[in-house]
Amino acid sequence: MISNLKKLWFAGLAIWLAFSLQNCTQPSTDKAAAANENTATAPDEFYGPEDFNKVEKFDTHVHFNTADSTFLNQAKKEIFRLLTINVNPAYYPPIEKQRDIAIQLVQAYPERIAFATTISMEGFEEPGWEEKTLAYLKDSFAQGAIAVKVWKNIGMELKDRQGKFVMIDNPKFDPIFDFIRQNNKTLIGHIGEPRNAWLPIEQMTVAGDKNYFSKHPQYHMYLHPEYPSYEAILNSRDHVLQKHPNLRFVGAHLGSLEWSVDELAKRLDKFPNMAVDMAARIPHFQYQAVSDWQKVHDFFIKYQDRLIYATDLEVDNEQQPAQINKNASEVWRKDWQFFTSGEKMKVPKVEKEFNGLKLPREVVDKIYRKNAEKWFLGIAKNKV
């Protein structure tokens, strides 16, 4: 009797243990299977060099001063869409001519290019300037312009009747900025210059600035102490953003705060409707990465929604199309390497070696595409 009871007890225990073990191990097996499935289907965290010709990208700051479409074919090959920006330096075609070129290209290649118009400072203090400017913008918007650029001649060239420099926060600009906002367009501001412009050539931090200001002494502010200071020019820009908090603003060339990610961060924190493009200023990130890679990397992670890829490439009749294409391809691929790899790098504009930032895919996608679509409404109206 006792023996039979023992047999029954041990049999029951065995059944219970088998059942318990099955229940304990099954979830673990399911989790492992799920983990394997996720690993198999999840995309890689980082891009590599082989992804360059697979990823849709924008270059949001180029200048077409000719209707030659050769460069657009190069952009298509390397999966870039472009924003050509009208601007009014004396050495460019008249802004009306630039607009005509842009409209011609946009109509022929709507899937590849968009354009930003600009405003003329001619007759700024004459009666009717505001009405004429608003009419020009209205016509530009009707013909497809998605943004408006103001340039560094405001604050660095234009003077009023009393001989004082006209700054960007002059009240005469307020109706213009209100009109841009009311039409849901973006204001692009190239206000001021790199801080290097206020230094002697030999003290400038990157070779690009040394070269530019050697060739353009009129903008080398170190030679013109009677001109507004770096701080005065940027303060005038900041005053505009304070007066127009709902104006969507993209600071060209890192908002002329290229020299310090800390200073740029302060402006981005203060003005939530401000983003910046990187046109011709990526070497300044690389220069800072020489001494503090982590700070630059962390800046990109924190402000990943406010940084827009751009180059400032020019397309004109003074350069051979093949050379323009070659230069663009080299710039685009070197920049991609900087953002996507962690490799040691060397570029002509920065004296010392630095490491690439190796940014996650999601950050790279924002820099190259998503932020352009967010800050320049209409730039991706037509799919590639």
Tell me the CA distances in angstroms from 84 to 64, 118, 189, one per residue in order. Answer: 6, 11, 14
The residue ranges of DSSP E strands in 252-380, in sequence order, are: 274-277, 307-308, 313-315, 344-345, 354-355
Distance of CA 195 to the CA centre of its chain: 19
* Helix, strand, or coil (residue 301): helix
Which residues in the chain land under pLDDT 50?
1-42
Cα-flanking dihedrals φ and ψ of residue 126, to 5°?
-85, 150
Helix, strand or coil for residue 359? Answer: coil
SS3 380: coil
Q: 222: which 2 tokens?
A: 């170190």
- Under the phi-then-psi rule, with left for phi > 0, alpha for psi from -120 to 50, and beta for the rest, what region is 167? beta
- CB-CB contact of 353 with 346 (8 Å): yes
d(CA 299, CA 305): 11
Which fold does the domain 49-375 belong to in CATH? TIM Barrel (3.20.20)
Q: Would you say 169 and 239 are in contact if contact means Cβ atoms under 8 Å apart?
A: yes
Q: Are 283 and 350 in contact (CB under 8 A)?
A: yes
Residue found under tokens 């394997």: 36
- Condensed to tens digits (0 to 9), the pLDDT of residues 22-46 reads 444 333 333 333 333 333 334 579 9
Q: What are phi and psi of 276, to 5 degrees?
A: -135, 145
Backbone phi and psi for residue 310, each to the nearest 5 degrees, phi listed first: -165, 160
On the CB side of 24, CA atoms within 13 Å amount to 6
Q: In the chain, how long is the greatest CA-to-CA distance?
A: 120
**Other residues' Cβ atoms within 10 Å of the Cβ of residue 165:** 18
Residue 319 in tokens: 């350069």
Which structure tokens are listed for 142? 């009707």
**SS3 assignment, position 277:** strand
DSSP string, 38-106: HHHHSPPSS--GGGTTTS-EEEEEEEE-S---HHHHHHHHTTEEEEEE----TTSPPHHHHHHHHHHHH
128 and 166 Cβ atoms separated by less than 8 Å:
no
Distance CA 369, CA 58 (A): 6
